[in-house]
Amino acid sequence: MALPKIELPLFETKLFSTGKAVKFRPFTVKEEKILLIAQEANEVDQTLLAIRQIIGNCVYDLDVESLPMFDMEYLMLQLRAKSVNNVITFSITDPDTQKPVEIELDIDTIDLTVDERHSKEISINDDMRLIMRYPRLDEVSLFKGYEGNEVNTLFKIMIACIDCVVDGDTISRMEDFTTQEIEDFVESFPGRVIEELKLFFETIPVLRYEAKYINANGDEKTLVLEGMETFFI
């Protein structure tokens, strides 16, 4: 005699990047184990692997690898809200008093923060412009070591995230060219374009949450959480 099959409810949400509706189920003990292992490892690679596995298991008809990171972070939060509850309670150490403070984070109040300077289009000259795309999960590792090796890292990221070049009526997609051809093309950019590319990456939309609390001295403080911090606490 077989054990009974557990039916899980389905939920629906919309992706920020496309507005597309996707269906998902709550995570089970299987996904909970994946999450706990990632939390214990406290390593970026393990965290990204856990995100890929959990979303791939729980969200239907979705190409996980093509999603920008902020969509994946949002889906992880929605999964947490429907699988456990929408409130995450955790403790922090206040930096001024060095005493613990309990914080409550309501997932339903977290939204995408978009910098008004952000644009996916970058002008090269009067006729030519770049159309950028957001880094995918398999490209997030390119951001490792950004601070210590800014020039080379930024160059790799730029090459990876140029979607196409619009030159008048002609659209050239980067997938049709070799890495060397793209590198040569990027190296020919006017200097100001590099600054605009930096701005694109620095202002990529991000999930942001601000929690206000009162510390032991009676001072009102604000804790800011962004991206993966909010569900890997």
Task: Report pLDDT for 59.
Answer: 95
- Written as six digits, the tokens of 48 are 């990204």
Mean residue pLDDT across the chain: 85
Task: Report pLDDT for 158.
Answer: 79
Q: CB under 8 Å to 149, separation ≥6 — which residues?
A: none
Task: Report pLDDT for 32.
Answer: 86
Please compute, for residue 132, the number of CA atoms within 13 A of its CA located in the half-sphere on the CB side.
Answer: 23
What percent of the chain has a predicted confidence (pLDDT) above 70? Answer: 91
pLDDT tens digits, one per residue of 209-219 = 888 889 889 89
pLDDT tens digits, one per residue of 161-182 = 999 999 999 999 999 999 899 9
pLDDT band at 104 (very low <50, low <70, confident <90, very high): confident
226 dihedral zone (left: phi>0; alpha: psi -120 to 50; beta) = beta
Q: CA-CA distances (angstroms) from residue 89 to 11, 56, 75, 233?
A: 23, 26, 19, 9
Q: Does residue 41 contact residue 49 with C-beta atoms inside 8 Å?
A: no
Tell me the three state secondary structure of residue 148. Answer: coil
Is 108's pLDDT higher than 80?
yes
Q: What is the mean pLDDT of residues 189-210?
A: 88
State the Cα–Cα distance between residues 74 and 108, nearest whole angstrom.
11
pLDDT band at 117 (very low <50, low <70, confident <90, very high): very high
State the Cα–Cα distance between residues 139 and 91, nearest whole angstrom.
32
Is 149's pLDDT higher than 80?
no
Q: Which amino acid is at 122?
A: I
Task: Report pLDDT for 166.
Answer: 96
Q: Does residue 176 contact residue 43 with C-beta atoms inside 8 Å?
A: no
Task: Report pLDDT for 21.
Answer: 93
pLDDT tens digits, one per residue of 1-47 = 788 888 889 999 999 888 899 999 998 989 888 888 877 877 777 77
Q: Does residue 174 contact residue 166 with C-beta atoms inside 8 Å?
A: no
This prediction's pTM: 0.78
